[in-house]
Amino acid sequence: MARRYTWLIALAAILALAQGTLADIVRLESEDYRVGGPGVGYVDFDAGNNGGAYRADDVDIEGASEGGYNVGWTNAGEWQILTTDPGTWQTNPVFEGSSYYIVRSRLAGYGGTYRIDVDGSPVTNVMSAPNTDGWQTWTTQTFLTTTPIASGSREVKFNVDSSGFNVNWIEFEKTDLVNPGAAIAQKMDPRTGQYYERVGNFTWDEARVDNKTNTHTFQGVQGVWPKITTKTESAAMGGLGNSWIPLTDSDATSTLDGVNLGATLGTSEGNYRWLDGTAPSPTFWGGGEPNDYDGAEDAIQFRGDAFWNDNGAGPTLGQKADSPRFPMIIKYDTSLNQQKFDIVERRADTNVFGEVGNLAKAIELLSLPDGSPGIAAQAKGESYAVSFADPESGGGYGEFVRVPFLTDTDADDDHFAMLAKAVLDIPHAGTWTFAVGHDDHVRLTVEGQSVESVNPVAVDLLVVSFPEAGMSPLELIFQETGGGAWVQLWAAEGDWRVAGFMPDMFRLIGDEWGGGLALVPEPSSLILLALGAVGCLARARRRHASA
């Protein structure tokens, strides 16, 4: 009998816990907007319901392929006040606890942007709806509110900022997680510790003049519009997205500042020069480039794939009036006060060693003595962060600078392994979630706990609780068989297993100035710590982390 009561008590506790969890989740259907008509419950710019379903007003509602209804035919400036009582449409949702909330949006379509307000104030950034390649091809976008939502009945407003998507529902889930805030504009080069920033929106000639007249600084370092002299730097900078580099073959006179480029740089058609007058070597042209299309492309653009393309330099250099506008990339020669990841990389001679088809073979390859015949190539080096991608096969999250692997070639690199080791500087007791993205497989070990990938292309999470501040070892093994090749390593404070990986919430480990979890300080700083400057240095380093 006692056992039976114990079992019932346990069951009651489980049910109570489940009910508490459900109470912390608020789902709002897009079609259940407030009654009262235009300007009260919604704004919609099309007369009548284009979908002809559910409600007889101007909001465009149709049956959703996955059941229920969705709002479609969205236009910029439209909005709905969402309620929780279908058929009455008057009741605001009730939120429990003043906390941040995980937001899930169920969307389909081809892009567009939106944001969510609570009680008239934004609780999200302007969000980019994903391209699902179909008006009824649904996906769930997950993010964290930018501010906590106060307890009680709250008015939730869904705003369409630009068209291109359908919305089925949005959902709020209470969480103990804290939004770290927007990432800084400057992005760290994981190999060098330098930072890059995309600045402005210019024609190429406007960027040239801005570079002469304006100064950009970061962490006390003055930036430069840099030449590119290595494949690693080209891959790092180009991967940030379309932008201008200071390279041209224009010999025209600019109407902006009267400079004759041919006379000052020695340029002529097909004869390219950096703005210091030197010729580019090496070059990283995309396929079929440069082509001087229509005889009016004298400026050089970085494409998102990290290769170069010639494009219009702007009407101020006599080129087409619709010459494109891009940012220019500024480089800051910064130096971080922390140690680096130790990297060992080996590519297999498949005729001798065989294929590197799984983690066990990767570990075997890494364990071979130097000079073994099964090793086709190897390299050892250091890196401030782990964010690598093969430029020829691609992959990874473009919000972060990615650089080529140490043994990179000009071909698709297959059958290799990488070992990365570092010592983390844990700032205080608490829980951290480590995220490792990859293609093909990885094993990540922190504080004696490990996660090993199951799927060949994924982001895997490892949650570790640290009882106190201090140093903690980290080891990452990466294995690549074929196809895309990339690996990136992030961390975020808190337990993110329910929320999942969100690129804008996680920071590269080692990106200290960008808010990332830092590695241990350089030995010179450790000496200062030993001499008693603990508090001063720790405070300074925390300021860097939040800058």
Task: Tell how strand 61-63 and strand 69-71 pair up.
Answer: antiparallel
Q: 473 lies in a domain?
A: yes
Q: 218 lies in a domain?
A: yes
Model pLDDT for residues 400-437, shown as the tens digit of each residue: 999 999 999 999 999 999 999 999 999 999 999 999 99
Instruction: Report the pLDDT value the prediction gives residue 522, as an integer from 0 to 100.
Output: 79
Statement to judge: residues 98 and 148 lie in one domain:
yes
Tell me the pLDDT band of 523, cut-offs 50, 70 and 90. Answer: confident
CATH code assigned at 317: 3.10.100.10
Terminal-residue alpha carbon distance, the chain: 62
Statement to judge: residues 149 and 30 lie in one domain:
yes
Evaluate the omega torsion of the peptide bond into residue 130 and state whether it is cis, within 30 degrees of 0.
no
Tally of domains within the chain? 3
Q: Which domain holds residue 111?
A: 24-174
Q: Tell me the β-bridge partners of 419.
A: 344, 477
Cα separation, 67 vs 136, in Å, equals 11
Statement to judge: residues 373 and 274 lie in one domain:
no
Tell me the pLDDT band of 11, cut-offs 50, 70 and 90. Answer: very low
Statement to judge: residues 161 and 204 lie in one domain:
no
Model pLDDT for residues 25-34, shown as the tens digit of each residue: 999 999 999 9
Q: 4 lies in a domain?
A: no
- Pick from 291, 307, 332: which residue ends a domain? 332
Statement to judge: residues 110 and 38 lie in one domain:
yes
CATH code assigned at 94: 2.60.120.260
Q: 468 lies in a domain?
A: yes
pTM for the structure as a whole: 0.85
Statement to judge: residues 261 and 116 lie in one domain:
no
| Averaged pLDDT, 166-187 | 95
Tell me the pLDDT band of 524, cut-offs 50, 70 and 90. Answer: low
Statement to judge: residues 124 and 236 lie in one domain:
no
Model pLDDT for residues 337-355, shown as the tens digit of each residue: 899 999 999 999 999 999 9
Model pLDDT for residues 283-301, shown as the tens digit of each residue: 999 999 999 998 999 999 9
CATH code assigned at 371: 2.60.120
Cα separation, 437 vs 484, in Å, equals 12
Q: 2 lies in a domain?
A: no
Statement to judge: residues 381 and 457 lie in one domain:
yes
| Cβ neighbours around 314 below 10 Å, total | 26
Tell me the pLDDT band of 97, cut-offs 50, 70 and 90. Answer: confident
CB proximity list for 372: less than 8 A, separation 6 or greater: none
Q: 179 lies in a domain?
A: no
Q: 6 lies in a domain?
A: no
Statement to judge: residues 359 and 404 lie in one domain:
yes
Q: 348 lies in a domain?
A: yes
Statement to judge: residues 352 and 473 lie in one domain:
yes
Statement to judge: residues 413 and 529 lie in one domain:
yes
Evaluate the omega torsion of the peptide bond into residue 391 and state whether it is cis, within 30 degrees of 0.
no
| Averaged pLDDT, 82-105 | 96
